Structure 1
Amino acid sequence: MVKIGNIELPDFPLLLAPMEDVSDPPFRRLCKMHGADLMYSEFISSEGLIRDAIKSRMKLDIFDYERPVGIQIFGGDEEAMALSAKIVEAVNPDLIDINFGCPVKKVVCKGAGAGVLKDVDLMIRLTKAVISSTSLPVTVKTRLGWDEDSINIDEVAERLQDVGVQALTVHARTRAQMYKGHSDWTHIQRIKNNPRITMPIFGNGDIDSPEKALEYKNRFGLDGMMIGRAAIGYPWIFDEIKHYFKTGEHLPKPGMPERIEAASNHLKWAMEWKGERLGIVETRRHYTNYFKNIHGFKEYRQKLVTTDGADDLMKVFDEIRDAFADYQLS
């Protein structure tokens, strides 16, 4: 069993990564149904919360069926981070996570996300500000360092634990790598093997198959792993990995009925949460992934991303069911 504060997770839990414009309640609901053990919100700007920005406030929505769930915040100002932690605590998540890993320029330029990797003292001050403002467990997600010449995750891990961080997830790339090149989990393994480190250590980066998940589980000896991009349009990956861990065998790949059901549920839940128009528009980005490598699907994908209106979209899904009733995935 893995514990974060009073949160009890199964042995070697699988975490759903916080992904901007992806990890919203409808998507999290699907991942929870298919085996994710702990999930996080999209990252939320501390300044946005304080300004009462509508988009930031919407990201605070959590539901009992997805617990345990954490809300992730980012920012570069101690006072703003402290106040946003109080705002977050009011909606009663299971934990608060701090993003010190986002490599996107607009975040880094504000001295937030991975930008803080260049100033570990600031990182610690920001973390202390959050911890002192909440009774919830506080965790951190970060990267190996700013670039290959300044990998400082060993110092970061020790200092974060010393100020009270209760779990650490490391994306095994530097900020300079963005999402390119290979992730290097040996750095995370070194942290886990540090006798000073007692908090759970989770790895993130490039987990895209049950085989790789088992290989990394056995090779690096971490407490669990976080899965991000591989789950987009494919929430089944969590169940597939868990089944492979237990049996060494693969679950059957989801067929067209399962893919149609997942995509249509995603749309329905998005419309329920965001309203019909926004739910329709924001679900469009997911259809390519739900129906990746499906021969002859281009015509229907075009309909899904251009049709307006809930009833008309559900008719498109009915068309797809009929057209692919005998389709066998290779």
Structure 2
Amino acid sequence: MKNQVVLAPMAGVCNPAFRLIAKEFGAGLVCAEMVSDKAILHKNEKSLQMLYVDEREKPLSLQIFGGDKDTLVEAAKVVDKQTNADIIDINMGCPVPKITRCDAGARWLLDPNKIYEMVSYVVDAVDKPVTVKMRMGWDEDHIYAVDNARAVERAGGSAVSVHGRTRVQMYEGTANWEIIKEVKEAVTIPVIGNGDVKSPEDAKRMIDTAGVDGVMIGRAALGNPWMLYRTVRYLETGKNLPEPDYREKMDVCILHMDRLVALKGEAVAVREMRKHAAWYIKGMKGAAKLRDKINAVTKRDELAAILYDFVEQQKAKAEAVAN
């Protein structure tokens, strides 16, 4: 990694279209959204497409999840030999019930011995480095972050990312950076901190207080890849760059859409792009009404026209006020 900023592996978001933008905005490492081990082995077409890596994205981490040792190992072998990913990441943090019911994701957090066993088998089966993304614990009564991270290290894991929330918290409440600090002090492998990094200043504060080797940015980058660029620059220089103007945001939003169209076709891409466009316009005056228009759009050119019309309207209003 050329810097300490990592794009989190967000499900339904981190496809090659968004990852490449994140890379262009300076992220030192980008992580792909999680893929089921069983779906890989069953050659599910959609899941296999999720293993695609554009060379321009590298270094890149591909994340897999599963609860069965044999299928996890076999899926890891596919990622190892049949993709050009740089890292194989194992998901131990997903809090969604349909994942934890399969003994996968955050369910692992309750058993350090299982973590050791599963990670060691994967490490032994592949050549690429193996990392783990986990939460600090299942709930307030079961916080085994230190034991779990030590298990990853003993098993041969190359790094661990720690989200400072429990599975029960989901994405609510406040991330506990003190637990992340305890993990960093307990292991010698790199530790990446995750949770409540909402600004470049937050990233610096996490590095300073928890001593982490890197910061993982997730929701703060949705519709806002400038957060990645601004964080990289802030960590390097201590200077906070200004936010982009509306026109720049729309230009990148449409670049994002065009890459998604090339990847998935117009019909699917525009449907997916509605949520991304809503993130790009978040905080802008008039965003609520604009979202209603966006959600009715089915064509690429329609969405582009709506976004650019909005920018021109805002510009005209600003000029009228100035005069």
User: Which bin holds the TM-score, normalised by the shorter protein?
Assistant: over 0.9
What is the match of residue 281 of structure 1? 271
TM-score, length basis structure 2: 0.94
Determine whether 1:20 maps to 2:11.
yes
3-state secondary structure, aligned to 2:234: helix
What's the CA shift for 1:33?
1.4
Number of paired residues? 317
Correspondence 1:138-177 to 2 at 5 A = 138-177=130-169
3-state secondary structure, aligned to 2:240: coil
Letter in 2 for 1:117: L
Q: For 2:54, which of 39, 56, 63 is the aligned residue?
A: 63
Contact 1:82/1:132 (<8 A) preserved: no
Range that drifts further, 42-51 or 143-152: 143-152
3-state secondary structure, aligned to 2:247: helix
Q: Percent identity?
A: 36
Residues 229-255 of structure 1: CA deviation (Å, up to 9, x unaligned): 110111110111122223333211110
What is the match of residue 192 of structure 1? 184
Determine whether 1:291 maps to 2:281.
yes
What is the match of residue 204 of structure 2? 214
- For 1:326 and 1:129, the matched residues in 2 are separated by 61
Q: For 1:324, which of 299, 302, 314 is the aligned residue?
A: 314
3-state secondary structure, aligned to 1:27: helix
- For 1:296 and 1:152, the matched residues in 2 are separated by 45
What's the CA shift for 1:326?
4.7
- For 1:224 and 1:299, the matched residues in 2 are separated by 38
3-state secondary structure, aligned to 1:147: coil
Contact 1:234/1:289 (<8 A) preserved: yes
- For 1:103 and 1:309, the matched residues in 2 are separated by 34
Q: For 1:179, which of 161, 171, 179 is the aligned residue?
A: 171
TM-score, length basis structure 1: 0.92
What's the CA shift for 1:109?
0.6
3-state secondary structure, aligned to 1:173: strand
Q: For 2:76, which of 85, 88, 105 is the aligned residue?
A: 85
Letter in 2 for 1:245: L
User: Which runs of 5 or more structure 2 residues have no equivalent in the other structure?
Assistant: 319-323
What's the CA shift for 1:23?
0.9
Q: For 1:302, which of 292, 297, 304 is the aligned residue?
A: 292
User: Which runs of 5 or more structure 1 residues have no equivalent in the other structure?
Assistant: 1-8
- For 1:327 and 1:224, the matched residues in 2 are separated by 42
- For 1:248 and 1:148, the matched residues in 2 are separated by 36
3-state secondary structure, aligned to 2:162: strand
Contact 1:256/1:327 (<8 A) preserved: no
3-state secondary structure, aligned to 1:176: coil
What's the CA shift for 1:134?
1.1
Runs of 4+ with >6 A deviation: none
- For 2:184 and 2:28, the matched residues in 1 are separated by 21
The CA RMSD measured in Å over matched residues stands at 1.6
Range that drifts further, 162-171 or 127-136: 127-136
Q: For 1:132, which of 124, 138, 148 is the aligned residue?
A: 124
What is the match of residue 66 of structure 2? 75
Letter in 2 for 1:177: Q
- For 2:143 and 2:88, the matched residues in 1 are separated by 25
Letter in 1 for 2:79: V
Answer 1 or 2: which has greater helix percent.
2
